[in-house]
């Protein structure tokens, strides 16, 4: 299994001939190495409804006939735009042919703001557990630190975790380092930082704070083999 990082919170998983994209914020993402016209996902998994995570989902899904996996409200909203979706919710798991997906809790918001300044509720935010080839990947999405991360790690031993460190909207480096301790992931990669001025961070500070996990900073386009 090959897992690559592509700026902000964009993660790509290649497993058993399938390409899975998590939170494909490409257009408007100054840190990504991806181009919408070059990306061909089979599956898109979303953590929540904010624009910097849903990103180019509709265009990518329609162009590639990709399945979009998201919470029920966000799935409904996207299906109205002609996207093929599979609705889930927090605590639920589903065995797809490309791997098993389970949604965990996350503490954040989830909404879409229209051009008419209307806020559309997009369901509760989530983290993602992806399991295939005997490996478990955890993408925390946008979240604060919460104590049940320990339970997540105990119930599902994690090989690779992606944790936000940007602060302001999510955990900062200190809380993210404590989250890594609770999760007890073998390897931890920082995400959701430096894209916008309010989330400017030095990822080496996060790595230096880690106690029990192997921290790895991935530049956009770099990958880890599991």
Instruction: Give domain status of residue 224, yes or no.
Output: no
Instruction: Give domain status of residue 50, yes or no.
Output: yes
Cβ atoms of 34 and 10 closer than 8 Å? yes
Instruction: Give domain status of residue 220, yes or no.
Output: no
- State pLDDT tens for residues 126-138: 999 999 999 999 9
Instruction: Give domain status of residue 36, yes or no.
Output: yes
The encoded tokens of residue 134 equal 């005997």
Instruction: Give domain status of residue 73, yes or no.
Output: yes
- State pLDDT tens for residues 10-63: 999 999 999 999 999 999 999 999 999 999 999 999 999 999 999 999 999 999
Instruction: Give domain status of residue 222, yes or no.
Output: no
Angle between helices 57-64 and 72-79 (to 10 degrees): 60
> How many Å apart are CA 34 and CA 119, to the nearest integer?
29
Give the Å distances, CA to CA, from 82 to 41, 52, 159. 17, 20, 35
Instruction: Give domain status of residue 126, yes or no.
Output: yes
DSSP-assigned beta bridge partners for residue 121:
111
User: Number of structural domains, the chain?
Assistant: 1
For residue 206, give its domain range: 2-215
Please identify which residue in the block is written with the tokens 């690779």.
Answer: 160
DSSP string, 154-187: HHS--SEEEEE---SSS--HHHHHHHHHHHT-SE
- State pLDDT tens for residues 72-130: 999 999 999 999 999 999 999 999 999 999 999 999 999 988 889 999 999 999 999 99
Q: Does residue 212 carry a pLDDT above 90?
A: no
Give me the CATH number covering residue 157. Answer: 3.60.15.10
> How many Å apart are CA 25 and CA 36, to the nearest integer?
9
Determine how many CB atoms are found less than 10 A away from the CB of residue 36.
14
Cβ atoms of 180 and 186 closer than 8 Å? no
């Amino acid at each position: 299994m090959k897992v690559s990082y592509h700026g902000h919170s964009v993660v790509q998983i290649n497993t058993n001939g399938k390409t899975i994209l998590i939170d494909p914020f490409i257009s408007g993402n100054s840190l990504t190495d991806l181009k919408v016209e070059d990306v061909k996902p089979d599956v898109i998994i979303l953590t929540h409804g904010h624009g910097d995570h849903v990103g180019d989902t509709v265009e990518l899904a329609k162009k590639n006939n990709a399945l979009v996996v998201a919470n029920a409200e966000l799935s409904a909203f996207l299906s109205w735009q002609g996207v093929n979706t599979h609705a889930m919710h927090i605590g639920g798991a589903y065995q797809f042919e490309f791997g098993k997906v389970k949604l965990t809790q996350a503490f954040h918001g989830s909404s879409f703001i229209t051009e008419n300044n209307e806020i559309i509720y997009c369901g509760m935010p989530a983290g993602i557990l992806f399991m295939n080839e005997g490996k478990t990947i955890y993408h925390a999405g946008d979240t604060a630190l919460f104590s049940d991360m320990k339970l997540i790690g105990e119930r599902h031993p994690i090989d690779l975790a992606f944790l936000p460190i940007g602060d302001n909207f999510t955990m900062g480096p200190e809380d993210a380092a404590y989250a890594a301790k609770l999760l007890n992931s073998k390897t931890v990669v920082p995400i959701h930082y430096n894209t916008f001025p309010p989330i400017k961070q030095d990822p080496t500070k996060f790595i230096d704070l880690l106690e029990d996990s192997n921290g790895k900073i991935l530049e956009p386009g770099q990958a880890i083999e599991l």
